[in-house]
Amino acid sequence: MTSAPEPAIAVVGMGMVVPGCASPDDFWQVLQQHEPQFSEPDDRWDLGTLHSDRPDAQDRVRHRKMGYIHRDFPAHPRTDTEGAEGLDELGRWLRHSVLQALEGVHLAAADRCLVSVGASAEGSQRLEESLTATLAADMLNGAGPADRVRGALRALYPHADAPPTTYLPYRQVRAAVAGLLPELCEVSVVDAACSTASYALDSGWKSLVAGEYDVAVCGASFVLGRRTNVLFSEMGGYAPSGDLRSFDRDAAGTLFSDGAAVVILKRYDRALADGDPIHGIVHAVGGSTDGRGKGIMAPNPKGQLRAFRRTLDRAGLEPEDLQWIVGHGTGTKVGDARELEMLSTAAGDRARWQVTSNKSLIGHTGWAAGIVSVIHALLALRHGVIPAQRRFVEPARPALLGGALVVPTEPVAWVRSDTGHSRVAGVCSYGLGGSNCCVLVGDPPDQPTPAARGPARRHLPHDAIVVTDWHAHLPGKPPRAEVEAWLGTGASTWPDAFADPYPALRAEVTTLPPATHPSLDRSHLMTMHAMHELAGHRDPPWANDGERTGVFVGHLGPTKGSIEYTLRVGADDLGRRIEDAGVEGLSMTAAEFAAAVRERVRRADSDTYTGFICNVIASRVAVQFDLHGPALALDAGRDAALAALHAARRCLEAGDIDFALVLAVSANTASGALLLDGEPEGPLREGVFTLVLTRASRAGALGLPLLAEIGTAEAQRGTPVPVLPGHAGFLGAESAVRLLRALHERLPRAVLGPGEDRLTPGIVLTLPPACARSASPRAAADTDAFFLRRRISRGERESVWSVPLGTPDDECLYGHSVDGRPTVPAAALLEMAAEAAADLVPDLVVREFTDVTFESFVRLPPQRSGLAPPEVILSSHVRETSEGAAVVDVAITRDLTLPGGRMLRRQPLHARMSVRMGGPNGQPPPQERPDGSDTAQVPATTYCLPVPPTAQWRLRIPVGLIEALLRTWPQSATAHADCVPVALRSLRLYTAGDGGASDPPDPATVKLWDLTGDHGGTAVRHLRAVAATGHVLVEARGLSLVQVPRTRGLATGSWR
Paired with 219 in beta bridges are 117, 262
Confidence at 948, pLDDT banded by 50, 70, 90: low
Distance CA(367)–CA(261), nearest Å, equals 10
According to CATH, the topology of domain 9-123+168-442 is Peroxisomal Thiolase; Chain A, domain 1 (3.40.47)
Confidence at 772, pLDDT banded by 50, 70, 90: low
* Residue of 824, 884, 894 lying closest to 859 (CA atoms): 824
Pairing mode of beta strands 749-752, 719-720: parallel
- At 695, the amino acid letter reads R
Confidence at 38, pLDDT banded by 50, 70, 90: very high
Burial (Cβ within 10 Å: 0-12, 13-18, ≥19) of residue 53: exposed
Calculate mean pLDDT across residues 442-468. Answer: 64
Is the alpha carbon torsion for 133, 136, 142, 146 positive or negative?
positive
Greater pLDDT, 973 or 231 = 231
Paired with 913 in beta bridges are 890
Q: Give the DSSP H or E segment for 228.
A: helix 226-235
SS3 content of the chain, % helix, strand, coil (to 5): 30, 25, 45
Q: CB of 621 within 8 A of CB of 661?
A: yes
**pLDDT of residue 246 exceeding 90:** yes
**pLDDT of residue 626 exceeding 90:** yes
Paired with 262 in beta bridges are 15, 219
- What angle is formed at CA 106 by the lines to CA 105 and CA 112, rounded to 5 degrees? 110
Positions of CATH 3.40.47.10 in the chain: 9-123+168-442, 465-559+612-766
Distance CA(4)–CA(25), nearest Å, equals 38
Which DSSP letter does residue 777 get? S
Q: What is the pLDDT of residues 688-718, one digit of tens each?
A: 999 999 999 999 889 899 999 998 865 444 5
Which DSSP letter does residue 293 get? S
CA max distance for the chain: 105
Pairing mode of beta strands 324-326, 353-356: parallel
Greater pLDDT, 133 or 459 = 133
pLDDT score of 206: 97
Distance CA(435)–CA(553), nearest Å, equals 14
What 3-state DSSP class applies to 701? helix
**pLDDT of residue 447 exceeding 70:** no
Q: Which CATH number is associated with domain 465-559+612-766?
A: 3.40.47.10
Q: CB of 142 within 8 A of CB of 587?
A: yes
How many Cβ atoms from other residues are within 10 Å of residue 1020's Cβ? 13
Pairing mode of beta strands 353-356, 405-406: parallel
Positions of CATH 3.10.129.10 in the chain: 787-926+939-951
Confidence at 294, pLDDT banded by 50, 70, 90: confident
pLDDT score of 716: 42
Calculate mean pLDDT across residues 900-915. Answer: 69
Q: CB of 723 within 8 A of CB of 801?
A: no
- What angle is formed at CA 300 by the lines to CA 294 and CA 302, rounded to 5 degrees? 120
Q: What is the pLDDT of residues 57-67, one digit of tens each?
A: 889 998 999 99
Distance CA(943)–CA(242), nearest Å, equals 84
Burial (Cβ within 10 Å: 0-12, 13-18, ≥19) of residue 774: exposed
Q: Is the preceding omega at residue 501 within 30 degrees of 0, hence cis? A: yes
* Residue of 227, 56, 64 lying closest to 570 (CA atoms): 227
Q: Give the DSSP H or E segment for 1038.
A: strand 1032-1045
Confidence at 183, pLDDT banded by 50, 70, 90: confident
Q: CB of 574 within 8 A of CB of 154?
A: no
**pLDDT of residue 917 exceeding 50:** yes
Q: In angstroms, what CA-CA distances link 800 with 429, 750, 789, 903, 914?
A: 47, 10, 11, 21, 15
Greater pLDDT, 785 or 424 = 424
* Residue of 548, 551, 748, 780 lying closest to 644 (CA atoms): 551
Residues 646-676, buried b or exposed e (16+ Cβ, 10 A)?
bbbbbbbbbbbbbbbbbbbbbbbbebbebbb
Calculate mean pLDDT across residues 639-643. Answer: 97
**Which alpha helices (H) appear in 348-407, and where do they start and end?**
359-362, 369-383
Residues 458-485, buried b or exposed e (16+ Cβ, 10 A)?
bbeeebbbbbbbbbbbbbeebeeebbeb
Question: Which segment of 44-58, 126-140, 370-384 scores lowest on mean pLDDT?
Answer: 44-58
**pLDDT of residue 77 exceeding 60:** yes
Q: In angstroms, what CA-CA distances link 875 with 108, 833, 891, 914, 1000?
A: 32, 9, 5, 12, 28
pLDDT score of 217: 99
pLDDT score of 783: 56
**Distance, C-alpha 891 to centroid of its chain:** 24
pLDDT score of 776: 32
Calculate mean pLDDT across residues 910-929. Answer: 78
* Residue of 519, 470, 527, 471 lying closest to 498 (CA atoms): 527
Greater pLDDT, 900 or 1056 = 900
Phi and psi at residue 666, to the nearest 5°: -120, 110
Greater pLDDT, 507 or 714 = 507
Which DSSP letter does residue 387 get? P
Q: Give the DSSP H or E segment for 310.
A: helix 301-315
Burial (Cβ within 10 Å: 0-12, 13-18, ≥19) of residue 78: middle
Paired with 356 in beta bridges are 326
Greater pLDDT, 969 or 637 = 637
Distance CA(29)–CA(361), nearest Å, equals 11
Distance CA(222)–CA(220), nearest Å, equals 7
pLDDT score of 1029: 75
Q: Give the DSSP H or E segment for 597.
A: helix 590-600
Distance CA(869)–CA(505), nearest Å, equals 61
Over pLDDT 90: what percentage of the chain? 62
How many Cβ atoms from other residues are within 10 Å of residue 725's Cβ? 11
* Residue of 428, 413, 199, 400 lying closest to 328 (CA atoms): 428
Q: CB of 327 within 8 A of CB of 343?
A: yes
- At 696, the amino acid letter reads A
Question: What's the half-sphere exposure (Cβ side, CA atoms, 13 Å) at 1009?
Answer: 20
Is 0.85 surpassed by the pTM of this model?
no
Calculate mean pLDDT across residues 323-350. Answer: 96
Q: CB of 413 within 8 A of CB of 384?
A: yes
Spell out the CATH class of 787-926+939-951.
Answer: alpha beta
Q: What is the pLDDT of residues 595-613, one digit of tens each?
A: 999 999 999 999 999 999 9
- What angle is formed at CA 582 by the lines to CA 577 and CA 587, rounded to 5 degrees? 90
Question: Which segment of 219-233, 656-670, 710-724 scores lowest on mean pLDDT?
Answer: 710-724
DSSP string computed for 638-669: BTHHHHHHHHHHHHHHTTS-SEEEEEEEE--T
Calculate mean pLDDT across residues 737-755. Answer: 89
Distance CA(677)–CA(774), nearest Å, equals 40
